[in-house]
A and B are shown apart, each in its own frame.
Chain A
Amino acid sequence: MTMSSNALCFGDEFSASGIPCLVHIEGHGLTITFPPDHDGGESRSESVSFSALTVSAGGLDHDQLVLTWTGLAGQRTLYLKNPDVIRVFRQAAPDHLTMPLEHAAAQVRQVRQRHRAVWTIVGAILVTLVLGLWFGSDGLVELAVNRIPVEWENKLGESAYRDFLIHQDVVKEGPAVDAVTEMVRRLAKPIPDNPYTFNITVVKSDVVNAFALPGGYIVVFTGLMKKAENAEEVAGVLAHELNHVLQRHGLERIVKQLGFVAVVSIVLGNPPGLGGVMKQLGVELMTLKFGRAQETEADVTGLQLLYQAKINPEGMITFFQRLAEKDEGRVEWFSTHPMSSGRAERLKIELAAMPKPTLEPFSFEWAKIRTSLGPSTSSSP
């Protein structure tokens, strides 16, 4: 005969894992039917009246109903887990068991509430930590970066600069080099207490770009100069790059990335597989967000620098507008740079708030500089 069990019974003569049994709840109490032995015996039953039972909550999570009594065969303990059986038992139980049943139910509720409360607190702490890291990290990074001497920054920038230039076709002299040198000299002049000596290099490449390394090493590609319609546009980009150096953005980025990786590693450990991917993704998104904030800062301070150097700030805006034409399909969230159209709009607002600049022209003619660079190609980054 096969029977499906709905409870576990423990007793002196049973094994420690308990005997599965079938519990029937009747008017007077319980009937417990044990399965037949392996050697082919008959199934046997025991009955116990409600008056003999003591009731409590038990099991790993206190979610099982434990009934205890002393019968002819000694002490018996019954573990009920099936919710239907527990419900029938509660309905059939006489008044004197109501109190202990309520007590057991209260115990289960208490355990669940405590679990929920603790997990809510832990969840809240985690969320606070993530939000704190997202919004409050900039101040911490600034503090750390301020303690790093400029000489260290110079060494860092110089080694990266040399590594980069090994494989590049550098324009050593000529009108293009003279033009950018003049621009940088004029831009650097109004900077108070400038600890950096700017090193500017023109690299022959059709890439429309320029970048700054920590310590004042700036690289301009000829592609950018060919793309610019006037000297003010190039000066706009240079003002932006000089401000990356002045605001120590490269260093901030290194500190932030290192610090963020350390914090995430402490919180998440070194999770394998998908956990590791999530960790990597979190670090990347954080770096990108930081990148966009830095670009915006360099734009705004760059505009002010152009104004102080008496160079027309409109150039910066027109250059971004031209770049915006290529932005279609790019998603800002996944970029280190804000969208060019947004940058141009923001700069227009900033510029509108400034008094009218007094302008001083450059000593060179931009058309001649462009011609010296050779014919323009359509390739872009």
Chain B
Amino acid sequence: MKSEILYPGAFPMVRIELAEGEKIKAESGAMVACSPTIDIESKMEGGFLGALSRKFLTGEKFFFQTLRASRGAGEVLLASTVPGEVVVLELDGVNEYMVQKDGFLAGADGVTIDSQMQSMTRGLLGGEGFFLLKMSGKGMLVLNSFGAIHKIELKPGQEYIVDNSHLVAWSSTTSYNIEKATSGWVASFTSGEGFVCRFRGPGIVFIQSRNPGGFGAWVRQFIPVSE
């Protein structure tokens, strides 16, 4: 399985080459084009209950699509709905990533997707909801973002502060606390940041350069109110 990011930047596409018999799972609707040797199946990852809990708990889609090179080698082209960069990671069976609900684009068959509950403070204030996707297992993992993806590398004990709405994914060796952006409650909200996440290494944190919620609020002001 080989992957290549085409047109890197705001409107990228991922080309994945599959040998005969290989398959990948992708977010429902992610497939742009593929070789005629590829079969597209809709699959409830983790069975019905797994899919149901993912749908309910993380807001992710109920079905993932499985793209299988069942009639010979071929390639698939994948893209996300929103404009933004994609990043390809390799899971080796030991490292795990927590991914916010819109961050998953595609993964190798060996990648396991679970929904994992967060603590109450993180769920309430983290802006990612109470449940996140946990990616574990082995193989390629493709994440997408809104805007550009920036990788923050944290050494053991090193800290970094991230606005919660800019999070894409982070390794499970990191830990984080939710805190007010400034020391005062009023200033925290008038600064426009509200709550922030203080990450502590070791591990990697992927952030996106734009905030989807903020963009939505900005667009909303131009939409005429219907009668």
User: For A10, what are the chain B residues with a Cβ–Cβ distance below 8 Å?
Assistant: 155-156, 173, 201-202
Q: Is B146 an interface residue (CB 8 A)?
A: no
* Shortest distance between the CB of B104 and any CB in chain A (Å): 18
* Shortest distance between the CB of A18 and any CB in chain B (Å): 6
* Shortest distance between the CB of A31 and any CB in chain B (Å): 17
B interface residues, tally (CB under 8 Å): 28
* Shortest distance between the CB of A85 and any CB in chain B (Å): 11
Q: Is B119 an interface residue (CB 8 A)?
A: yes
Q: Which of B194-227 contact A (CB under 8 A)?
A: 201-204
Whether B175 pairs with A7 at a CB distance below 8 angstroms is: no
Q: Which of B88-117 contact A (CB under 8 A)?
A: 92-95, 98, 117
* Shortest distance between the CB of B53 and any CB in chain A (Å): 11
Q: How far is the CA of A272 from the CA of B59 in the complex (A)?
A: 9
Whether B93 pairs with A5 at a CB distance below 8 angstroms is: yes
Q: How far is the CA of A122 from the CA of B118 in the complex (A)?
A: 14
User: For A208, what are the chain B residues with a Cβ–Cβ distance below 8 Å?
Assistant: none
Known: A68-B156, A79-B202. 5 other contacts (CB 8 A): A8-B95, A10-B201, A18-B202, A60-B172, A61-B119
* Shortest distance between the CB of A76 and any CB in chain B (Å): 9
Whether B173 pairs with A8 at a CB distance below 8 angstroms is: yes
Whether A16 pairs with B95 at a CB distance below 8 angstroms is: no
Bits for A47-84, please: 1 = Cβ < 8 Å to B, else 0.
Answer: 00000000000111110100010000001010101000
Q: Is A273 an interface residue (CB 8 A)?
A: yes
Q: How far is the CA of A64 from the CA of B176 in the complex (A)?
A: 14
User: For B55, what are the chain A residues with a Cβ–Cβ distance below 8 Å?
Assistant: 273-274
A10-B156, A115-B119 as given contacts; A274 in contact with B56, CB under 8 Å? yes
A8-B95, A274-B55, A274-B56 as given contacts; A18 in contact with B120, CB under 8 Å? no
* Shortest distance between the CB of B110 and any CB in chain A (Å): 13
Whether B120 pairs with A62 at a CB distance below 8 angstroms is: no
Q: How far is the CA of A61 from the CA of B176 in the complex (A)?
A: 9
Q: Is A197 an interface residue (CB 8 A)?
A: no
Whether B94 pairs with A59 at a CB distance below 8 angstroms is: no
Q: Which of A1-28 contact B (CB under 8 A)?
A: 4-8, 10, 12, 15-18, 20
User: For B170, what are the chain A residues with a Cβ–Cβ distance below 8 Å?
Assistant: 60
Q: Is B41 an interface residue (CB 8 A)?
A: no
A20-B94, A118-B119 as given contacts; A64 in contact with B173, CB under 8 Å? yes
Q: Is A119 an interface residue (CB 8 A)?
A: yes
Q: How far is the CA of A16 from the CA of B62 in the complex (A)?
A: 33
Binding site of A, secondary structure by majority: helix, strand, loop or mixed? mixed
User: For B174, what are the chain A residues with a Cβ–Cβ distance below 8 Å?
Assistant: 59-60
* Shortest distance between the CB of B89 and any CB in chain A (Å): 8
Whether A79 pairs with B52 at a CB distance below 8 angstroms is: no
Whether A273 pairs with B62 at a CB distance below 8 angstroms is: yes
* Shortest distance between the CB of A266 and any CB in chain B (Å): 15
Whether B173 pairs with A79 at a CB distance below 8 angstroms is: yes
User: For B117, what are the chain A residues with a Cβ–Cβ distance below 8 Å?
Assistant: 115, 119
Cross-interface CB contact of A17 among B59, B93, B156, B204, cutoff 8 Å: B204
Q: How far is the CA of A20 from the CA of B90 in the complex (A)?
A: 12
Cross-interface CB contact of B153 among A15, A59, A64, A272, cutoff 8 Å: A15
Bits for B43-55, please: 1 = Cβ < 8 Å to A, else 0.
Answer: 0000000001001
A interface residues, tally (CB under 8 Å): 34
User: For A77, what are the chain B residues with a Cβ–Cβ distance below 8 Å?
Assistant: 156, 202
Q: How far is the CA of A122 from the CA of B95 in the complex (A)?
A: 32
Q: How far is the CA of A6 from the CA of B95 in the complex (A)?
A: 10
Closest residue of B by beta carbon distance from A118: B120
* Shortest distance between the CB of B96 and any CB in chain A (Å): 8
Whether B93 pairs with A59 at a CB distance below 8 angstroms is: no
Bits for B113-141, please: 1 = Cβ < 8 Å to A, else 0.
Answer: 00001011000000000000000000000
Whether B52 pairs with A16 at a CB distance below 8 angstroms is: no
A8-B95, A118-B119 as given contacts; A59 in contact with B172, CB under 8 Å? yes
Q: How far is the CA of A368 from the CA of B203 in the complex (A)?
A: 92
A60-B174, A60-B175, A122-B120 as given contacts; A16 in contact with B204, CB under 8 Å? yes
* Shortest distance between the CB of B143 and any CB in chain A (Å): 13
Q: Is A275 an interface residue (CB 8 A)?
A: yes
User: For A15, what are the chain B residues with a Cβ–Cβ distance below 8 Å?
Assistant: 153
Closest residue of B by beta carbon distance from A60: B172
Cross-interface CB contact of B173 among A5, A59, A271, cutoff 8 Å: A59
User: For B95, what are the chain A residues with a Cβ–Cβ distance below 8 Å?
Assistant: 8, 17-18, 20
Closest residue of A by beta carbon distance from B200: A58
Cross-interface CB contact of B120 among A8, A20, A119, A275, cutoff 8 Å: A119
* Shortest distance between the CB of B5 and any CB in chain A (Å): 19
Mind listing 22 A-B residue pairs with CB under 8 Å? Answer: A5-B93, A7-B94, A8-B94, A10-B156, A10-B202, A16-B153, A16-B203, A17-B153, A18-B171, A18-B202, A20-B94, A59-B173, A60-B172, A64-B173, A77-B202, A115-B117, A118-B119, A118-B120, A119-B117, A119-B120, A122-B120, A274-B52
User: For A6, what are the chain B residues with a Cβ–Cβ distance below 8 Å?
Assistant: 94
Q: Which of A322-343 contact B (CB under 8 A)?
A: none
